[in-house]
Amino acid sequence: MLQSRHYFKFDHSKFVIVLVAMMIFSSVYKLSAQQINMDNLMVMPVPNVENVCTLDPTDVEANFFIAPDRELAKNFQAAATSVFEVDYRVDTGNACGDTAWPDEAFEAFEFAMDVWSVHLSSSVPIRIDANWTELGERTLGSAGPTRIVQLPGVGVPNTWYSISQLSAMANRVIRDEIDGVNHDVRININCNFSDWYFGTDANTPAGRVDFVTVVLHEIGHGIGFIGSITVPTDDDQEVTEEIGSLGQGSPPVPLIYDRFANDAEFNSILNTSIYPNPSNAIYEAVIGLRGGLFFDGDDANMSLSDIPVDRAKLYTPENYTPGSSYSHVDQETFTNTPNALMRPRVDRAFAVHSPGPLFCGMLSDMGWPLGVGCLSFLAADAFIALDVNQIEFGVSNEGRAVQQTITIENDNASADMLSGGLSLDNENFSIAGETVFGLQPGQSAQFSIQYVPQSDEQHEGSLSIFHNARNIPSPIVIPLSGEALQSNQVVRLEQSFPNPAVAAAGVSPTIPFVISEDSEVRLDLFTIDGRHVRSLVNNRRSAGRYNERPDMSNLSSGVYIYRLIIGNEVMTKKLMYVR
């Protein structure tokens, strides 16, 4: 049975912008769809996709929780640079008697899409086949890409990529080029597991396993966190021959993940003089007899600078386990750290609602175009500078756009490119044009921020600038403010405050008014019987909000009238003054 619910967190007007972002990260992506010959596409199924990752629960009560970055969580939709389309299926006859995904599982799965949508940058929707099925008592889920693919001119030559990654890099919907392929990622979730926690607050109770964490983990495998080392095993997963092989196809070709795998002596697992393929040497490496295997990418290693390990150790237990060995980070090394998401087992009372710095670094090394969430983890030797610390739009009218600019600069003293993106948290404000940047040292870029008020009131919002610079924490939050009158309104006269104004308390009245365009303004004060007391304003004023404080020191207690004239508009209100 199939249920389809498509979860969109992407502004399709940003397609060109996202392509610009991909061009920022590597010259590999500097190509257009017209330059790609899809006739050269090479495709292979992922062997035993049901067991690419078989994620198990532990009985450890971790009491460890990482919620999404506060600003990202607040701005999920605005910050998203990728879109996920999910087909929710139930495995008829093998789905615990269910005929549909439970609503709470739907909501948690979609929350996980929220998280991933701000960490990846892809103009191509990532389509997931999500299956609610029985997987046994001790398996939480399994997942993998539906295909691995190569396309000459895109990425590293002679290297397999997950279909979603190559689609993002090539800016093409590659699944549409392959007969019978409708999804990029397949995920199986265990309907028979009784201890799920479906909340999205990253506060998993004792004894429960966090559903969002599991979904984030499985999607990670589906987008490319997989290696190709295999060892012959029987139906009980017992090793039948102590020989390891690497790569897919004939001759075998590595996955992009494999290209970063080194042993303890920094020897590449692809070095056939040390690791003939197939060989006992590969088997020894994958069971940890060569000091372990490590993902040695520059960005991955840089992401570890703040924790007491200097290399990203992969999971190589002495008992080889299909679906777990090699295609996870080490369970012990990364327990209760921000990089715990991609361990092979999930603790109870545990939640990690973020890919984490290491995984983002690995994605960067492998060539995945990154969204603002991952960029915020990968600090570079860059120094960001802004020309404003707040943006005020003044007064406008409903539906009328007002535009301001902000300049972002990478300082001349920087050694690296400054990369990042912008997002907003209020529908009355928008970004006109590009939302991402990649600036070499000394370069700057201007971004246009628009205020298009949807109602006649004061509006406040914030502009979040996610970046990879070292000098200022990411994101930088810029307050935004603006005010609007009705679409055809030029002036609004408001009630004075305080009312009454009591002189003995040292309080004078304030008369507020708002104008939406430059105007000749006259504001006068009268007694209640109509005698003119004094003129308060008689000049030209720019559009904006004004607060006039009349001098009442020589006036007696009583009720006064204040009158505002702008063009043909005449407005009056009363104030009370007590000496």
Q: How far apart are CA 82 and CA 155, in angstroms?
A: 19
Q: How far apart are CA 535 and CA 564, in angstroms?
A: 10
- Do 23 and 111 belong together in one domain? yes
- Domain end marker among 455, 485, 515: 485
- Domain end marker among 433, 458, 485: 485
What confidence tens digit (pLDDT) does each residue in 177-226 have?
999 999 999 999 999 999 999 999 999 999 999 999 999 999 999 999 99
pLDDT, position 137: 74
pLDDT, position 228: 94
DSSP string, 60-101: EEEEEEEPPPHHHHHTHHHH----EEEEEEE-TTSSTT-SS-
What confidence tens digit (pLDDT) does each residue in 315-325 have?
999 999 988 99
Q: How far apart are CA 4 and CA 86, in angstroms?
A: 7
What confidence tens digit (pLDDT) does each residue in 435-484 have?
878 899 999 999 999 999 999 999 999 998 888 888 888 789 999 999 99
pLDDT, position 27: 30
Counting the structural domains of the chain, the total is 3
Percent of the chain at pLDDT exceeding 90: 71
- Do 364 and 409 belong together in one domain? no
In a domain, residue 525? The reply is: yes
Does the pLDDT at position 287 exceed 80? yes
Does the pLDDT at position 370 exceed 80? yes
- Domain end marker among 465, 485, 505: 485
pLDDT, position 75: 66
pTM of the model: 0.72
Q: Please list, in sequence order, all residues whose beta carbon lies within 8 angstroms of the beta carbon of residue 36, skipping any fewer than 6 positions away.
A: 151, 153, 154, 170, 172
What confidence tens digit (pLDDT) does each residue in 322-337 have?
889 999 999 999 999 9
Q: How far apart are CA 524 and CA 500, in angstroms?
A: 18
CA 294 from centroid of its chain's CA atoms: 27
Task: Look at residues 163, 169, 158 and name the one whose alpha carbon lies nearest to residue 25.
Answer: 169
What confidence tens digit (pLDDT) does each residue in 69-96 have?
776 676 676 677 889 999 999 988 888 8
pLDDT, position 52: 57
Q: Please list, in sequence order, all residues whose beta carbon lies within 8 angstroms of the beta carbon of residue 478, skipping any fewer than 6 positions away.
A: 386, 388, 389, 390, 391, 406, 462, 463, 464, 465
Does the pLDDT at position 560 exceed 50? yes
Question: How, if at all, do strands 391-397 and 476-485 pair?
Answer: parallel
Does the pLDDT at position 3 exceed 50? no
In a domain, residue 41? The reply is: no
pLDDT, position 565: 97
pLDDT, position 180: 93
Give me the domain span that covers residue 562: 491-578
CATH number at residue 401: 2.60.40.10
pLDDT, position 35: 54
- Do 170 and 91 belong together in one domain? yes
- Do 180 and 327 belong together in one domain? yes
Does the pLDDT at position 573 exceed 80? yes
- Do 278 and 183 belong together in one domain? yes
In a domain, residue 543? The reply is: yes
Cis peptide before 498 (omega within 30 of 0): yes
